[in-house]
Amino acid sequence: MPSCSPSSPMRRTSLTRILSLIRRSRTLIRLHLVTYRLAFGIISARGCQVNASRVRSVNMSTEPSWIQLGHPSYVWRFGQDRRLGLIRQYAPVEGKSILDVGCGIGAYVREFRQFSDDVHGVDVDAERVEKASATLPNILVAPSECLPYPDGRFDVVLLHEVIEHVQDDRRTIAEAARVLRPGGRVVIFAPNRHYFFETHGVYVGRKFVFGNIPGVGYLPDALRDRLAPHVRAYTHDGIERLCAGLPLSIVAHRCIYPGFDNFAARNRLVGRVLRTVFYAAEATPLAQLGLSHLLVAERVRSKEQ
């Protein structure tokens, strides 16, 4: 009968196999994470490019204001330009009156002015408005829940990665509907709950960890909201429910993948391949895993109109 003592060759062989399996499992986990990072991109939803290997922690008492407000697009790259093209596809902007709610420093306002002179922007952050106003007209400080415009003022309203940060997302969309003319369209980009990374960071105790944290969106609501109380993420049905009961008719709803600008900056071929593969995936069920919702709704015309 073979010996079962700790020093027996059989026991040593078994332990060696177990340790080998553990090492292989760790390697597979690392490879999966690397694959996810390559596949989905290391970017935040507001266009801030972040390297997940440089995740940092800050104390809650010293956290910067943009953690609550959202981080605007400071540069204009392929990802932003693609979104501009999608906006124009679903809501023609040539010669139209346009409002960018949560305009930040005015990146989209500036681009819209190529197509129309009647372009306006609002943001709740006075410093950003001041910076935007230095080079752009018609930029005001105002909360998204109380827009300083009359009913039916605009043809197009943009909410670009904004509703996840505001105090009242439903009221924000209601205000967008109010200032739209009949037949006008609101274009909404917002985080997809089913995207693999939480791109806005998480709270761990009293520490804020900024980076692309995997798997947060797949946690139960209570745990997800505890880790990321500063930002919302939406399911397909959840974001559509925000429009229910409003004078809006949803005309398009899809999910889109990121611009992969960091990858393209390091290697053009890699960036081109990622864009080709994942933008093709937007026409398949894999679109449900995209970075952001793109929802377009049209202001319903009343019978009198």
Q: What's the pLDDT at 200? A: 79
Q: How far apart are CA 128 and CA 66, in angstroms?
A: 11
Q: How far apart are CA 122 and CA 45, in angstroms?
A: 19
Residue 1's pLDDT band, with cuts at 50, 70 and 90, is very low
Please choose, from the candidates 299, 300, 305, the residue with its C-alpha nearest in 3D space to the C-alpha of residue 186.
299
For the chain, helix, strand, coil in percent to 5 are: 40, 20, 40
User: 161-165, 198-202, 227-231: lowest mean pLDDT where?
Assistant: 198-202
Residue 32's pLDDT band, with cuts at 50, 70 and 90, is very low
Backbone angles phi, psi at 141, to 5 degrees: -85, 120
What sign does the CA torsion over 22, 28, 32, 33 have?
positive
Please choose, from the candidates 59, 69, 76, 137, the residue with its C-alpha nearest in 3D space to the C-alpha of residue 104.
69
Q: Is residue 116 within 8 Å of 98, Cβ to Cβ?
A: yes
